[in-house]
Amino acid sequence: MVYKTGQSVVPGKLNVHLVPHTHNDVGWRKTVDQYYVGSNYTADEGCVENILDSLIPALLANKNRRFIYAFFQRWWRDQSKIVQNIVKQLVSSGQLEFINGGMCMHDEAATNYIDMIDQTTLGHRFIKDEFGVTPRIGWQIDPFGHSAVQAYLLGAEVGFDSLFFWRIDYQDVAKRKKEKSLEVVWQGSKSFGSSAQIFASVFPESYAPPTGFNFEINYGSPIVQDDINLFDYNVQERVNDFVSAAISQANITRTNHIMWTMGMDFMYQYATTWFRQMDKLIHYVNQDGRVNALYSTPSIYTDAKYAANESWPLKTDDFFPYANTLNTYWTGYFTSRPALKGYIRMLSGYYLAARQLEFFKGRSKTGPKTDTLADALAIAQHHDAVTGTEQQHVADDYAKRLSIGYKEAEELVATSLACMVESASKTGCRNPATKFQQAKDNTCPLMNISYCPPSEIDLSRGKNLVVVVYNSLGWKRDDVIRIPVINGNVTVKDPSGKEIESQLLPIANASLGIRSFSTMAYLGKSPSVAPKYWLAFSASVPPLGFSTYIVSGAKSSASASVRQTFYRSERSQNKTIEVGPGNLKLNYSGNEGKLTNYANVRNSIKAFLEQSYSFYSANDGTEPFISPTDGTEVFQPSGAYIFRPNGTHPIKSEGQVSFTVLRGSLLDEVHHRINSWIYQITRLYRDKEHAEVEFTVGSIPIDDMIGKEVVTRITTTMKSNKTFYTDSNGRDFIKRIRDYRSDWDLEVNQPIAGNYYPINLGIYTKDNRTELSVLVDRPVGGSSIADGQLELMLHRRLVTEDDKGVREGLDETVCVVDKCEGLTIQGKYYLRIDPLGEGAKWRRSYGQEIYSPLLLAFSEQDGDNWANSHLPSFLGMDPSYMLPDNIAMITLQELDEGKVLLRLAHLYEIGEDKDLSVMASVELKKVFPEKKIIKITEMSLSANQEKAEMEKKRLVWKVEGSAEKKSTVLRGEPVHPEKLVVELAPMEIRTFIINFSYKQVHH
């Protein structure tokens, strides 16, 4: 029979929008490829190929059927032109709608905004190129908490009209149901307010259909049996079920539009099973007439909501942390798999730099590209990737993809730098003579474990080591470079050939241990030589440019400017030790090596300061509690997602503290062996006013079968009044108050886990005099559990699984042959105390330096003739120019078609800094001194539509109780095509596509 399914919205009736969808993780229990082809069934059942293959005929069978989709590109590539044309028709008719449209549904806690933009841009431009459409809808239905940056930046600023999501706190959702405030207008940014708001809709239960309406193959919801010739005819019964589910949802929803999310994880394996039933439901429910059922999409639903002309409750800030019930805080994943998180963050910065170098060299059609790394980084942002909530083999797969992408990008980087040092970049360069050490990882990704073969060469027989140092920031930059070397007597020359100051530091035994274990575990080999020293020297590099340093063997030990001081802890000596070659001084107690004081001699900051390690013993979930949401007994251990501590255990040194101070002209190092599995080096640089803490944590012992979550705590006497600040995806800082939520009256059940927040850039707290800031090198969880105190969770090793679906405990191990041990993490955080109101400068500018470290490339050179045949330095911008202090260039990328994608970001929020929270200008002519801009087009954030066009289409939502006045938000003016000056207001990110013609330039 032919069912009547062409229903549209009916005014005056309750409209049930059936939104057919499937939720396809790009990796979780199995890898993204396994999900695509449907292999590794024992790990998980999903098969994306089934979904899409079966979807097309199902949509063709009835033009009223609709579907929304992601995870598309790979299938698309495999299809014939015929199928592609059919799909194009389905997209253009609106039967098939792309929502969200990124390469993945990224996580919102452990992701950096630059990565979020990059992966969304990648997806949006693919969809634009293939189908000519721009997604209108945000769809973040599974991430475990939701960020402000997602709402305003990856929502409003990419031109979305609405954002649909699931997973908010159970107490919050209960209140919102009561107040019908699951649908709100969300203003995620203090700086932008209503100019970057979005209609946001929280699903009441999940992204599954109401109970009894899941029609997945082999699933079991009662089908609509409407063949009167067969037994079990049940049309009226199913219509009644439908109406009653609709009414119960209508009772917690404003307007007479409700949405049913008709799908679930990897469902629509055989799409017809769903559509067959939905066809019938729409037909019979509308025949019944009590409610109106229709095939819909989030777009149609959004338009219907908008047409209702309602005012909606206002939501600001974000939806962190997420607890789905009592004691079940999803705050463990902020730190889970810190090595993977660190790798992703490192490559994110590398990707930014590599694209710049690709731009300088000119994008090659055939040679190595950054595209593979782009893809790998994009899917690594997935909410079961960077989150650490995937199975181990899947985490390995992400790492493998990243590594493959990195290798290709590294080749590109080496080639580009070679072209640039041969000054051939302008005319195009295919096969430069200079070879940077590709085979040996010319950029030394394993330098963190003091493994860098290109620098570990014998310089005693006339060989020189060429170190090209590239700066991807838009500012000139001075930094101390540290590289492992085997020779003690070396000299360093700067680009002008002048010998400069350098410093040797012995490599700690702890580092050498990791070096030898990890190279064996990951490279399968034990390096024949072991470096003895870190060679440190100060590099100065122009914006978007490089400087070349030559390291040579010294004639005598005297010629190397090396100063070293060893200090061993001595209990008897009860005096304080002051460390720090520059303005910043840290004091340690001589007997225990305990940090006691912080001082900056420049600005007279003096503060009591302690730093310590603790671990939380993980709840093993054997003692159940009763869930207030559904009355069931819950057994909730800590796991990859969940942080549920049982107790706090300060980590004391085992026996005598091993405490060593190394002093030098450039930096001092303080080494602490905290216990047998925690080692710490604190570095104070002569020319920097922060402390750099490098921690080595692991392997965390679990012989007692108790999971452990290791934190470091920074303790001051500041009266911070429960208040601290954490960043949203590395961008806006959000105020957090301990044991408090602004949206509802919090019932505190987990005083630790319930106060944890995701940290990407940093965390700070303040009192009426000072600010204490901590910046991180990767995403971690953190909090301020006591006034004046900040803590970061650095590493987690857990024994049990937390029953959130991943089916594996979070117990990362590293093996050499049969010997496995818990994963050791090495990372850094950075600490500084500023006078009140002055912390932002450091957090913002140094935060950018952490994200974009200097890129090093090595080459060997016999003799002294490098400078004869190579450019010693390179300036991408006009030599007189650099970007303003409050601006970062977060994208510079040559697109396939030769155009260039440029993205500039103002780094400060409104009111954050008295000098820098102001409108800034970038002179593009000076940014691109050798090129002529013939066209510049301002684009939406994801560069898939012109910004003006986006703004014209934007729906303007009304906020409950707020006046109708248009808020006056500062934004930069449109760019004048002649003047080519880009204005950026606080927090503004502007995206351009630029067409160049090359100028004739004479050197």
Binding a second copy (rule: CB under 8 A), the pick from 205, 227, 478, 862 is 227
Q: Give the CA distances from residue 665 to residues 564, 659, 876, 895, in Å, rounded to whole numbers and listed in that order.
A: 8, 20, 31, 45
228 contacts a second copy (rule: CB under 8 A): no
Is-cis flag, bond preceding 872, omega within 30? no
Binding a second copy (rule: CB under 8 A), the pick from 45, 371, 422, 946 is 45
Nearer to a second copy by Cβ, of 270 and 744: the residue is 270
Binding a second copy (rule: CB under 8 A), the pick from 12, 81, 232, 703 is 232
Q: Give the CA distances from residue 320 to residues 384, 435, 750, in Å, rounded to whole numbers and listed in that order.
A: 17, 48, 14
42 contacts a second copy (rule: CB under 8 A): yes
Strands 825-835 and 691-697: antiparallel
868 contacts a second copy (rule: CB under 8 A): no
Q: Give the CA distances from residue 987 to residues 510, 543, 572, 918, in Å, rounded to whole numbers and listed in that order.
A: 42, 21, 54, 10
Name the segment binding a second copy (CB under 8 A); options: 27-35, 568-576, 773-781, 908-916.
27-35
Burial of 236 (0-12, 13-18, 19+ CB in 10 A): exposed
Name the segment binding a second copy (CB under 8 A); options: 212-220, 304-312, 345-353, 840-848.
212-220
Burial of 258 (0-12, 13-18, 19+ CB in 10 A): buried
Name the segment binding a second copy (CB under 8 A); options: 96-104, 211-219, 288-296, 767-775.
211-219
220 contacts a second copy (rule: CB under 8 A): yes
**Shortest CB 147 distance to a second copy, Å:** 31
33 contacts a second copy (rule: CB under 8 A): yes
**Shortest CB 235 distance to a second copy, Å:** 12
Binding a second copy (rule: CB under 8 A), the pick from 39, 89, 236, 603 is 39
Nearer to a second copy by Cβ, of 50 and 749: the residue is 50
HSE-up of 647 (CA within 13 Å, CB side)? Answer: 5
As a whole number of angstroms, the distance between CA 850 and CA 760 comes to: 11
Nearer to a second copy by Cβ, of 122 and 300: the residue is 122
Per-residue string for binding with a second copy, 386-405, x by CB under 8 A? Answer: -----------x--x-----
Binding a second copy (rule: CB under 8 A), the pick from 34, 448, 589, 917 is 34
CB 362 within 8 A of CB 428: yes
Name the segment binding a second copy (CB under 8 A); options: 32-40, 477-485, 515-523, 592-600.
32-40
740 contacts a second copy (rule: CB under 8 A): no
Binding a second copy (rule: CB under 8 A), the pick from 57, 289, 647, 898 is 57
270 contacts a second copy (rule: CB under 8 A): yes
Nearer to a second copy by Cβ, of 234 and 597: the residue is 234
Q: Cα dihedral sign for 593, 595, 599, 600?
A: positive
427 contacts a second copy (rule: CB under 8 A): no
Nearer to a second copy by Cβ, of 80 and 427: the residue is 80
Nearer to a second copy by Cβ, of 270 and 635: the residue is 270
Binding a second copy (rule: CB under 8 A), the pick from 12, 178, 231, 604 is 231
As a whole number of angstroms, the distance between CA 848 and CA 905 comes to: 11
37 contacts a second copy (rule: CB under 8 A): yes
**Shortest CB 823 distance to a second copy, Å:** 23
Binding a second copy (rule: CB under 8 A), the pick from 4, 8, 11, 41 is 41
What does DSSP assign to residue 557? G
CA 209 from centre of chain: 30
**Shortest CB 132 distance to a second copy, Å:** 26
Is-cis flag, bond preceding 699, omega within 30? yes
47 contacts a second copy (rule: CB under 8 A): yes
As a whole number of angstroms, the distance between CA 483 and CA 456 comes to: 9
As a whole number of angstroms, the distance between CA 766 and CA 736 comes to: 12
Binding a second copy (rule: CB under 8 A), the pick from 16, 19, 25, 36 is 36
**Shortest CB 755 distance to a second copy, Å:** 40
Binding a second copy (rule: CB under 8 A), the pick from 79, 225, 749, 937 is 225
Reading the block at residue 703, the tokens are: 């012989």
Q: Cα dihedral sign for 533, 534, 540, 541?
A: positive
Q: Give the CA distances from residue 363 to residues 378, 478, 541, 582, 689, in Å, rounded to whole numbers and listed in that order.
A: 20, 29, 24, 43, 40
CA 907 from centre of chain: 17
Nearer to a second copy by Cβ, of 222 and 701: the residue is 222
The residue count for binding a second copy (CB under 8 A) is 38
Strands 610-618 and 625-626: unpaired
CB 17 within 8 A of CB 285: no
**Shortest CB 368 distance to a second copy, Å:** 17
556 contacts a second copy (rule: CB under 8 A): no
Phi–psi pair at 318, nearest 5 degrees: -145, -170
**Shortest CB 71 distance to a second copy, Å:** 14
372 contacts a second copy (rule: CB under 8 A): no
As a whole number of angstroms, the distance between CA 198 and CA 217 comes to: 36
Nearer to a second copy by Cβ, of 378 and 429: the residue is 378
Q: What is the CA radius of gyration of the chain?
A: 29
Reading the block at residue 70, the tokens are: 């992601």
**Shortest CB 268 distance to a second copy, Å:** 10
77-106 positions binding a second copy, by CB under 8 A: 78
State the Cα torsion 140-145-148-153 to the nearest 10°: -30
968 contacts a second copy (rule: CB under 8 A): no
What does DSSP assign to residue 973? P
Q: Which H helix or E strand runs over 418?
A: helix 392-421
What does DSSP assign to residue 527? -
As a whole number of angstroms, the distance between CA 266 and CA 38 comes to: 10
State the Cα torsion 880-886-889-890 to the nearest 10°: 160
Nearer to a second copy by Cβ, of 219 and 998: the residue is 219
**Shortest CB 43 distance to a second copy, Å:** 10
CB 802 within 8 A of CB 641: yes
Name the segment binding a second copy (CB under 8 A); options: 225-233, 489-497, 806-814, 989-997.
225-233
Binding a second copy (rule: CB under 8 A), the pick from 82, 228, 230, 705 is 230
Residue whose C-alpha is closest to residue 563's, from 661, 478, 658: 661
182 contacts a second copy (rule: CB under 8 A): no
76 contacts a second copy (rule: CB under 8 A): no
219 contacts a second copy (rule: CB under 8 A): yes
Q: Which residues bind a second copy (CB under 8 A)?
A: 31, 33-34, 36-42, 45, 47, 49-50, 53-54, 57, 74, 78, 217-223, 225, 227, 230-232, 269-270, 272-273, 276, 397, 400
